[in-house]
Structure 1
C-alpha cells in the first residue's frame, strides 16, 4: 500500500496584531493575567472584509509552491473550519474557485481544533488507496468574529489564521504518515460550544441578544480532559508502531494553552525543546494551529529527513487525535 506524506506546507496570519496590552483596554484583564494562564502574548486579527477563504488561499499557495504542485493538479481539497465564509456552500468549494483547482472535489470538515488532523487522516486514506494523488488539506479559522469581546475568559484566547498541507504519495517506503488515531466523546459537547445559529436555536434577535452565536467554554473542564486524553493518544500511536517516547524527534501540537502543552509533555517525559511553540505569537487558531506550527518548523529547518514527528490535537466535540510521521 502507498504511504501518504506531507509534500509541502504553508501558513498565513493576518497583519493586524492584538496584544495583551490592547485587550487590557477592552476588558478587565492584564498582560500578566493572560500570560500566566495561557502563555499568549498576542494574536492576529483579520482585516475588515477579509474572510476565511482569503486566508486559506494564501496558505494554500505557499504549500503548493513548496510541493511543486499546480492548483490544476489537485484531486481533492479538504478545509477544516468552524468559521467558514458562510453556512452554505462550504469554504472548500469557495477556495477551489479562488485557486482555480478545477479538477478537485472539495468539502469541509468540522472537528474544531482537531479539524486539520481529521482532514489529514481523510487525505491519507485517499492517497493510500490510490483514489487521489494530490490532496490539499487546510485548517483555516476566523475566530475573532465568533468571540464575545466582553468575555475575558474567551476573547483573550483566540486568533485568526490558516495553515496548509499538500499530501501525496511518499517518495519512499521509509517516509510518510505511519499511522493516525482519532477519537470523539459527544458526552463532553457542552464544555466548548457555539449554541446559536443551528437548528436547535436558529438565528434570531433573541439568540443575538443572548450572545448565543459566540463561543462559550468551561476552561477548567477542557484542561482536565486534554491532559488526560492527549498523552493517551500519543502512547496509542507509539504502541501501534512499536516505538517509544524517546524515539520522537519533534512534537507538533495544537496550541490552545501553554499549560496544556507543558502538562502533556511532562506526563509523557518529552523535553519542551522537542516542541515547536508559537502560541505566544498567534494565540489559539483552532484548526489552523497544527498546520501553521508544522509549516513554521519546516521552514525553520527543524525537520530533517528521517525524523519522527508526533502530532496531536484536541477540539470541541470533544474531538482529538494523534499522528506519527517519518519526515
Structure 2
C-alpha cells in the first residue's frame, strides 16, 4: 500500500454501479474428459478435482465477441447511449486472439465507443477484475473521465484444454470459459470503499506456458502448449494462495473498519473447492456468505469474480447497501488484490 498524503485534497468517489456476464455455449460435462483421462497421480491432488460442468468457447468465437455479449445486458439496462459515454475502457484477456494486439480498440469499435483511455492489461491474472477496478478508479479520480468499462475474459479452456494431448491431463477438466464486465462511474451511489493490490516478484515465473519440449509456442512442430506446474510447485502455490487471498482481504477490512466475519458477501477467484473453503474459514465466514460458480463454470480465472457477482446480483442475493468484498491471487502468487464496495448495482 502506497502511503497517502494527509494534506492532499479528497479524491472523488467512484462506484461499481453494474456488472454483467456471458458464458459461451452449452455446459460441458466431466464425462467429456473422463473418456480421455489416463492414470495420473496429479489427478488425486486437491488442486485438480473437477467441477460438475464448465463452458468452452467456440473455436471461432473471439475475446471481442465475448465482451460484446457480456456487455449486452448493460445496454438493455442503461440504454445504448451509455456506451457512447464510456471514457475509460480496460480489458484483460487470458488468451489473446492476436498475440501482438490487445482487444481494447476492437472492443471499442464493436461497441461504438470512443473512450479517451484504452488499456489492455495482462499481469493481473485471476485477480485482474480487482486490478482493473483499481486502474479505472485512479483514472476517474485524477482526470475529467466519468465512466469506465472493465472486462475480464477467460477463453483458454476450450482452445487449450481440449487439445488431444492436453485433455488427458489431470488439470484439463478444471478450467471453464466466460466473460464478466463491470461499469464504474464517478459518483457515490455504490462506492468503492477500498482497494489493495500487491505484486510479489519473487514468485514470478513459477507458472509456465510451454509445449513440454524445446519448441517455443510460436514455432512450428510437435508439442501442444499448456500451462504447467511440477508437483512441487503445486504444493507451493497452494500454500501461497491460502495465505495471499485472506491477507489482502483482511488488509482492506482493517482500513474500512470491519472484521472479516462481518462482511456481508465475499467473492473470490475459484481455482478449486479447497481454496474456497479455506478462504472463508480464514475470514470466519459461513460458506453461504462466500458464493461461487465453480461447480457450474469451473475455474474462470479473472472472470470468476464478475461472473459470480452477476449471478448473485440477478438472483437478488446481494442486498443494496451491503458490503461486498472481492479478493483473488494470480498465477503462482505473483499478484494479489482485494476490493470492498458498498453494493448498489443495477439488476
Fold similarity call, TM over 0.5: yes
1:152-186: CA deviation from partner (whole Å, max 9, x where unpaired): 232121111100001102344xx410111011222
Query: 1:284 is paired with a residue of what secondary structure?
Result: coil
Structure 1 gaps, min length 5: none
Distance 1:67-1:255 versus aligned 2 partners, 3 A rule: farther
Equivalences, count: 318
The answer for the alignment partner of 2:67 in structure 1 is 56
Q: Which residue of 2 aligns with 1:40?
A: 51
**Inter-CA distance 36–167: structure 2 relative to 1 (3 Å threshold):** closer
The whole-number CA distance in structure 1 between the counterparts of 2:262 and 2:12 is: 23
Relative to structure 1, the CA distance from residue 81 to residue 291 in structure 2 (aligned partners, 3 Å threshold; closer, same or farther) is: same
Distance 1:3 1:38, change over 3 A: farther
Deviation at 1:203, TM superposition (A): 1.8
Name which of 76, 95, 100 aligns with 1:83. 95
**Superposed displacement of residue 202, structure 1:** 6.4
Match of 1:11 in 2: 21
Residue 170 of structure 1 contacts residue 176 of structure 1 at CA under 8 Å; is this kept in 2? yes
1:223 maps to 238
Partner residue of 1:188 out of 203, 208, 224: 203
Structure 2 unpaired stretches of 5+: 1-10
CA contact 1:60–1:136 (8 Å) conserved in 2 = no
Report the structure, 1 or 2, having the larger helix content.
Answer: 1
Q: 2:134 aligned with 1:121, yes or no?
A: yes
Structure-1 separation of matches of 2:339 and 2:60 = 35
SS of match in other structure, 1:292: helix
CA distance in 1, matches of 2:285, 2:247: 14
Which digits, 9 at most, give the CA deviation of each residue in 1:7-63, with x for residues without a partner? 111100011322111110122379x96999536111101123111111111112223
The CA RMSD over aligned residues, in Å, is 2.4
> Distance in 2 between the 1:251 and 1:320 partners?
15
Residue 299 (str. 1) matches residue 310 (str. 2): no
- Corresponding residue number in structure 2 for 1:23: 33
Q: Secondary structure at the match of 1:194?
A: strand
Relative to structure 2, which stretch is displaced further, 186-195 or 152-161?
Answer: 186-195
Are residue 264 (structure 1) and residue 279 (structure 2) matched?
yes
